[in-house]
Amino acid sequence: MSLLAAPAAASTISPASNDDCLTCHSDSSLKSSAGKPLFVDQDKFKASVHGQAEIACIDCHADLKKVKDFPHPEKLQPVNCGACHEKDAAQVKASIHGQPQEGQIPITVTCRDCHGTHEIRGKDDPESLIFPINLPTTCEACHLERVKTKRGRSFIEMYNQSAHYKALEKAGLTLSANCANCHDGHNIRSVSDPQSLVSRKNIIRTCGVCHVGIRMGYLEGVHGKDYVKGSQDVPVCTDCHSEHNIQSPEDLSSPVYATKVAGVCSRCHDDERLARQYGFLTSRLKTFSSSYHGTASKFGETRAANCASCHGFHDIRVSIDPKSPINPNNLAKTCGKCHAGAGKNFAKGKIHVVSEKTENKWAYFAKIFYIVVIAVLISVFLIFIAADLYHRLRIRWKH
């Protein structure tokens, strides 16, 4: 109010220039009546993308264009970035950030929350708040503490453990995925929104922006072919690799680490309902576990074959597909990756045998033979021992 009451020192006809504004706003101690600093750092503004483009204060603080008498009223309209950044503003408005959030304090995220104000830099400027290396910190400003989602706020902490973040942070690899690569910058939507980049409908394309070869492989495999048809059952990237906490398969904590792959695949491939619907066999984990490969894998031996070693991973194909690594014609090559020199004999038998009775009758016969021999022999031993002890007891009773 004191500003209003002050006499007009200088009244100009032409709109206020930046210098006019800075007459007051270069004072670093200038504060609003509520105690909010009103200082504008000239150097920072001049270095900013808007300063470089010689955009004037009143271009953004547009309601000052009409003000003739300075100092101007304290209460100004919020800056409308959309006046220039029309498309971006519209996207944000439609996004989850543009909607008031449910909760105790409705928060609507505005441009300045992510981009800053006077010091805004170009997105390729390392000083920019949205420069790839800086972006996680920018998002974390809210998502680490203030904002709680249904799944809690741990997902951003999980991202900080991920291979994507490690590459970004440790190596400064700006190509590595940051928040905006997967969630978009402005068009951020809930995962359940089909328009979201991370929705089931879009996730393959989103990850495939960087992982092009993997996306192409995936789309050629059985999972990808059904995905394209709109199946809700086939796995997408995140079903196997997890979401924020994506790790290299060589990392022990990755769900697709060599010894953990079987657990991931069997989530669906041991599922009775899916097996009935798609006509595949269940007990994949059980039959794998009882094999030498599976047992070794269970005890942490990473060199033992897991599901992916034989079936491939992104472009998994059915065995009748000539390109499938488990096609009988390719088995010698597939098994030969580890068992050098093992030839066509690998195809003469069954892997994942549930019942040897139908799959390998000689093995079944050997098994039954041994079970009978063991049962008979152990019974005979025990009967003999019982008779011997009984005899000794009888002698003792007599004496």
Partner 1 sequence: METLNSSDLIRDDEIFLRMNPAERIQHFLLILTFTILIVTGLPLIFYELKIFKTLMSFERAFYIRGVLHRIAAMILIVNIIWHFFYTIFTKRGRSNFKEMIPKFKDVRDAWDLFWHNVGLTQLLYKKGVLKTFFEKHPYWLFEKEPEFGRYNFIEKFEYLAVAWGSFVMIISGFFMWNVELSLRLFPLWVHDIFVIIHGYEAMLAFLAIIIWHMYNVHLNPEVFPMSKIWLNGKISGHELRTLHPLEYRKILEERKRILESESL
Task: For the CB of residue 335, give the shortest distance to partner 1 in the complex, in Å.
Answer: 8
Nearest of 2, 1, 8, 33 to residue 23 by alpha carbon: 8
- Binds partner 1 (CB under 8 A): choice among 153, 289, 312, 352: 289
Fill in the per-residue mask, 245 to 284: x = in contact with partner 1 (CB under 8 A), - = not in contact: ----------------------------------------
How far is 38 from 362, CA to CA, in rounded Å? 88
Nearer to partner 1, 175 or 375 (CB): 375
| Backbone angles phi and psi of 37, in degrees to 5 | -65, 135
Q: Is 377 in the site for partner 1 (CB under 8 A)?
A: yes
Task: For the CB of residue 267, give the shortest distance to partner 1 in the complex, in Å.
Answer: 19
Length of the chain measured in residues: 399
Q: Which residues contact 10 (CB under 8 A, 6 or more apart)?
A: 20, 70
Site for partner 1 in 294-313 (CB under 8 A): 294-296, 298-301, 304
Q: Is 290 in the site for partner 1 (CB under 8 A)?
A: yes
Q: Which residue has the tokens 């503003």?
A: 89
Nearest of 175, 80, 195 to residue 132 by alpha carbon: 175
Nearer to partner 1, 209 or 373 (CB): 373
Q: Of the listed pieces 9-17, 146-154, 171-179, 372-380, which binds partner 1 according to CB under 8 A?
A: 372-380
Site for partner 1 in 75-114 (CB under 8 A): none
Per DSSP, the residues of 137-179 read HHHHHHHTTT---TT-SHHHHHHHHSHHHHHHHHS--TTS--H
Alpha-carbon dihedral 205, 209, 211, 216, rounded to 10 degrees: 50
Q: Is 390 in the site for partner 1 (CB under 8 A)?
A: yes
Q: What would the two tokens of residue 369 be?
A: 């033979």
Q: Is 31 in the site for partner 1 (CB under 8 A)?
A: no
Contact 183, 197 (CB under 8 A): yes
Q: Is 354 in the site for partner 1 (CB under 8 A)?
A: no
Q: How many residues bind partner 1 (CB under 8 A)?
A: 50
Nearer to partner 1, 188 or 304 (CB): 304
- Binds partner 1 (CB under 8 A): choice among 146, 151, 205, 367: 367
Nearer to partner 1, 211 or 298 (CB): 298
Q: Which residue has the tokens 């022999």?
A: 377
Per DSSP, the residues of 334-374 read HHHTTSTT--GGGGSS-SS-S-HHHH-HHHHHHHHHHHHHH
- Binds partner 1 (CB under 8 A): choice among 124, 343, 357, 358: 343
How far is 225 from 269, CA to CA, in rounded Å? 17
Q: Is 131 in the site for partner 1 (CB under 8 A)?
A: no
Nearer to partner 1, 46 or 344 (CB): 344
- Binds partner 1 (CB under 8 A): choice among 38, 84, 318, 385: 385
Contact 325, 312 (CB under 8 A): yes
Task: For the CB of residue 399, give the shortest distance to partner 1 in the complex, in Å.
Answer: 12
Nearer to partner 1, 146 or 365 (CB): 365
Per-residue CA distances from 200 to 60, 197, 208, 343 (Å): 39, 9, 13, 42
Q: What would the two tokens of residue 315 be?
A: 């472009």
* Residue 335 neighbours by CB distance under 10 Å: 21
- Binds partner 1 (CB under 8 A): choice among 150, 170, 394, 399: 394
How far is 46 from 213, CA to CA, in rounded Å? 44
- Binds partner 1 (CB under 8 A): choice among 1, 53, 105, 395: 395
Task: For the CB of residue 307, give the shortest distance to partner 1 in the complex, in Å.
Answer: 17
- Estimate to the nearest angstrom the gap between the alpha carbon of 63 and the chain centroid: 43
Site for partner 1 in 170-229 (CB under 8 A): none
Question: Residues interacting with partner 1, by CB under 8 A?
Answer: 289-290, 292, 294-296, 298-301, 304, 335, 339-343, 345-351, 353, 356, 360, 362-363, 366-367, 370-371, 373-374, 377-378, 381-385, 387-392, 394-395
